[in-house]
Structure formats: C-alpha cells, structure tokens
Amino acid sequence: MATTFAKAADGTQATTEYAARIEHVSKSFAGPAGQQLVLDDITLDVAPGEFVTLLGASGCGKSTLLNLVAGLDAPSAGSITTGGRPALMFQEHALFPWLTAGKNIELALKLRGVPKNERRGRAEELLELVRLKGAYGKRVHELSGGMRQRVALARALAQDSKLLLMDEPFAALDAITRDVLHDELTRIWRETNLSVLFVTHNVREAVRLAQRVVLLSSRPGRVAREWRVDIPQPRRIEDSAVAELSVEITEELRGEIRRHGQH
C-alpha cells in the first residue's frame, strides 16, 4: 500500500533484478462523482539500466504513476519498490531561480549529504556531462529552454539515483532543441548505468528513446500493450525503422482513444 525506497547499502545493488517494481498498483482520487479510478492494477518492472517509455493519451494517469514511483503520492492499492529515492525531471525545468545553475546542482548534492568541499567539483563535472561547462555561475533566466532542461538533468543526476523518472521533460521545447536533447539523453544513459522511466504522449519520441514502450489505456489507466524496440542506438527520430514502429503504435493508441468516443 505504499512506495518503498529499499535502503540497500552500496554493493547489494547488483543482486536486485529491477530498478523499479510496480505491483498491482491502483490509484483513485475523490472526484465530484465519488471515487474516480485513475490507475487500475498496473504491474510493471524496470530492469537495471533499462530505458522504458510510458506512452498514453490524456487521462491515462501516466504522470500520476510517475508521482507514485517518485514517492510524492501513495498508491491506493498495490506496492512500488525502488532501490533508493528516484530522481525526477518535470516538463518545466523546476530549477530554483534564486540559485545559479551550479548552485542548483550543489543543493541536490548537499541534500544528499555530499560534504561541502566535494560539491563544487562534482557540480562542475555534472555540468560538463551535459556540456554546459561555462554555465556554473549563470542564473536560470539567462539560460535558454534547452540549457535549462540540461541543468535540470544534471541536477537530477546529482541525486546519484539508480532510477531517473522523466515527466514529458522535452514537451515544451522546440523541435530542433528536442532532437538534440534526445541525442544527449541517449548518450548520457549509455555512459551511465541509469534506468529511465520516461513519460510522454509523443509516439516517435517514445520509440526514438526506449528499449521498451509501454502503452497505457485511458480512464482508468491500464497497461494496454508493450513493444520491445530493438533498433540499435544511436537512433534518429527520422529513421525508417523508428517511423515504422511509430505507425504501428499510433494505430494502437488511436484505437484506445476511439473506444472512449463510443459511449
């Protein structure tokens, strides 16, 4: 009935065969017409190092599910287990405007208990990882949308979590920047041993990024279907293999949406 952050000591991580285990999770909210079921009996595992995208139309509860995994909310039934507190990235960058880019990252390090004399160096390293070497002293408003999301990614990585949750993080960006950040995210994912659970309503984005695409039905959200994506990385969103699979998934998604117009 709750989200558990397994407090595994370092070294025992290798024995876990999942980065997140979502078992029979349901969530309902009190609405105007009584209890409204948003998520219905979701079961889903994310393997260590795996990249999974959650795909669905509006009202499928994908953001709700992500909040449950992040521990920001508790499931009504079922259980969620993750190896430690997951990192979370939002659609908005959610950087703190009273801190510089570097200090935003250092705050994450500080809250994780990293000693003061190591924070600056670690923050510079993380900025270099997202290729924003000179941005340490920049204020949030001085950065472009794409740079902000990269700093937000660096801050999420600063949590040193095994699992990164992403809630439509590129939805507000222009197409060119989004493309570049797809490449960037793929690169960083391949360089680290991070597991990613990525929520989106963009089918091509889901196929471009993921090893596995999970389609959720809407109202209530259920796992409708899963696809393994075996196209080798680095992919491009224009690749014909990506387009082909996207067509297939879009058909399925449209079928799910049509069902709601029938009554």
Partner 1 sequence: MASTEPRTDAVVNDAAVKDRNDLAGLEAGLDALETVQSNRASFRQTFTQKILPPIVAVALVLVVWQALITFKVVDDPTKLPSPGDVWGEVEDAWLQGTLLGYIWTSVSRGLLGFLLALAIGTPLGLLVARVRFVRAAIGPILSGLQSLPSVAWVPPAVIWLGLNDSMMYAVILLGAVPSIANGLVSGVDQVPPLFLRAGRTLGATGLRGTWHIVMPAALPGYLAGLKQGWAFSWRSLMAAEIIASSPELGVGLGQLLENGRNTSSMSMVFLAILLILIVGIAIDLLIFSPLERSVLRSRGLLVKS
Binding residues vs partner 1 (CB under 8 A): 18, 45, 47-50, 52, 70-72, 85-88, 90, 92, 94, 96-99, 107-108, 111-112, 131-132, 139-147, 155, 159, 176-177, 180, 183-184, 187, 190, 211-212, 228, 232-234
Dump the DSSP string for 28-80. EEEETTEEEEEEEEEEEEE-TT-EEEEE--TTS-HHHHHHHHHTSS--SEEEE
Choose between 57 and 68: whose C-beta lies nearer to partner 1: 68
Contact call for residues 165 and 66 (beta carbons, < 8 A):
yes
CA 8 – CA 112 distance, rounded (Å): 15
Choose between 28 and 91: whose C-beta lies nearer to partner 1: 91
The alpha carbon dihedral of 93, 98, 103, 107 has a sign of: negative
Choose between 190 and 259: whose C-beta lies nearer to partner 1: 190
CB of 258 to partner 1, least distance (A): 29
CB of 60 to partner 1, least distance (A): 20
Choose between 92 and 252: whose C-beta lies nearer to partner 1: 92
CB of 171 to partner 1, least distance (A): 14
CB of 126 to partner 1, least distance (A): 14
CB of 150 to partner 1, least distance (A): 8
Q: Kindly give the interhelix angle for 145-158 and 116-129, rounded to the nearest 10 degrees.
A: 130
Choose between 48 and 59: whose C-beta lies nearer to partner 1: 48
Query: Of 20, 37, 19, which Cα lies nearest the Cα of 28?
Result: 37
As beta bridge partners, residue 28 has 37
